[in-house]
Amino acid sequence: MASASAAAPAVSFQPGRRAPLPPRCTHSERGVSFDPGSAFYRSDSAPGRDLAVLAATLHRRRRPDPSAPFLCLDAMCGSGVRALRYLAQAGADFVWANDASDALHPVIVGNFSRFEPVPPEGQRRWVVSHLDATRLLAERYLRREYFDVIDVDSFGSEAEYIRAAFLALKIGGLLYLTSTDWRSARGYGGKW
């Protein structure tokens, strides 16, 4: 009987480099694979995400300066599926994915890991943060970092975020407001 080591293929490791982790993607939406992890994900809301990607794509094509980097910010990204789709499908040059829950950090980073954070050209493609959305948007405004698209899906009422979002939006930018849980925004609570 042959030993187990004789049957195993030879594997070589480069010093200082880790082998890539196998993808843990359990869902696919319009060709973009991702792992929702413990984040809320509702597949029935895909048409709203389709509309967000379509609106961002059309907005990118109609900008006054098409050579400028196209910047998107998802203020409440959950697993990051909409932010991933901005990067993969809407032609975003940079996406800021933010969710207040730092427990989602491994999920969001894992989903974005297929895109190099800093490609050979040297410009970052994406960043992940875990701040309150109002604070994030206000800080972007104070640092004069403006975005072409700002996406706010507050899972209820986005009214408290609108002012800060407008401040961080480029003049002529696209503010995409949605409520995944539209029934709670209309007063239905959790009853379906």
- Output the pLDDT for position 150: 97
Put residue 122 in one of left, alpha, beta given phi > 0 → left and psi -120 to 50 → alpha. Answer: left
Class of domain 46-186: alpha beta
184 pLDDT exceeds 60? Answer: no
The pLDDT of residue 127 is 94
The answer to whether 117 touches 124, Cβ cutoff 8 Å, is yes
pLDDT, one tens digit per residue, over 76-122 is 988 888 999 999 999 999 999 999 999 999 999 988 988 776 666 77
Q: Domain spans of the chain?
A: 46-186
Confidence band of 180 (pLDDT split at 50, 70, 90): low
Q: What is the pLDDT of residues 18-41, one digit of tens each?
A: 333 434 557 767 777 777 776 776
Contacts of 36 (CB under 8 A, 6+ apart): 26, 27, 78, 79, 81, 107
* Of 85, 90, 96, the residue nearest 29 (C-alpha): 85
> Per-residue pLDDT for 172 more than 60?
yes
pTM reported for the whole predicted model? 0.78
| pLDDT score, position 92 | 95
- Looking at residue 158, what is its pLDDT? 59
Please name every residue paired with 153 in a beta bridge, in sequence order, or none if there are none: 178
